[in-house]
Structure 1
Amino acid sequence: AHDAGALLLVDNTVPTPALSQPFRWGADVVIYSATKNLSGHADVIGGVVIGRASWLDAARVFAHTFGPTLGPFDAWLTLRGIRTLSLRMQRHTENALRLAHYLERHRAVSRANYPALESSPFCARARRLLPAGAGALLSFELAGGKPALESMIRRLRLVRLMPSLGNVATTISHPASTSHRGLDAAERARAGISDALLRCSVGIEHPDDLLADFEAALS
């Protein structure tokens, strides 16, 4: 980006500052959805933009003019969440890696995607850029296709189906019918999003409870 005369902007929402510090890698501007892991409790709607003051002047003028700024209580909730961020992200990451290993070995799962898995094409990069852990987000695809997916979702008890991510509770979503529903089948296929793909935002529950819920749902 710098060689081309452009600024490097990094969305660091998923790893958070607890796992990744993009300014160390040359980023000029870093953004966060404070709705996700930064606040961590699914009770805030907000965002954060960080960078040199001179580069953020336009964003500041926009915010002052149109009002997309945090209210006092939302700001307090975000600060409350940040106080436990490092502890939460450690547990998120431990649980996500354990769940990813479990899903990778399960006969009902055809593919598990998580950067810290040895089978991931991004494993070496994740170890270099995210030495403290790869975060809470993973995805997996069921061998039985969409019917197996629908059956699994109905059988889950602890894990909840919801479109958001990044809070203390483990949630799953179905990208083909939510975040990527605007794409046609060919476009989703090129993006690697099948009808049997699920995204999982791993929470901080006891890992045994989490694995037991998936085991019951996948059996």
Structure 2
Amino acid sequence: MSVGAAADGESCDEAVRIGPGPLVLVVGPSGAGKDTLLAYARLRLAGTPGLAFARRRITRPADATEDHLSLDAAAFARGVESGTFPLHWRANGLSYALGPEVAAAIRAGQAVVANGSRAAVKEACARFADVRVVLVTAPPQVLAARIAARGRESAEDVAQRLKREPALDRAPELTLVNDGPPEAAGERLAAYLHRLAAA
């Protein structure tokens, strides 16, 4: 399934609605390699009981960097207005959301892993009973080179993107410095998710 707590994990406010499974938000600056590590972990953990990976809705055309559902601005706005998305946010001029299947999987007790945003963590904690944060990062020069390699932005746009990255207002449960072969950080992410699903 393409959409779910460790006993010692930090939970959000008691007034949250969606649980009992945890939502794992993988966050970090552009160019950190979140999609690469998530793809590695998804393949490594295929068929693991109690674990699912979210497929995001994004107002961006489909491309090779992420297996997402592409929505235009009007369709996205309708989803927000109707309450279809259990979590949505804006970043870098685009709109992102998690679909209703994420809420369904979490209510069924699964751990759901999603490529998130540091700016969305606070809202996630207002909507989900158990939110875990995994921070993926890399040195600034590595981030800039990876963003430039995508070919979607000018050098000036890359610099501006890195400057406006939001701060993380919650301590991550796991921090991955992804500046080497993706298998290194990918194995650490896979091991963490495997333990979480087995808890």
**TM-score tier (shorter):** under 0.3
Indicate the structure (1 or 2) with the bigger Cα radius of gyration.
Answer: 1
Larger helix percent: 1
**TM superposition score normalised by structure 1:** 0.24
**TM superposition score normalised by structure 2:** 0.26
By relative contact order (CA 8 Å, sep 6+), the higher-ranking structure is 2
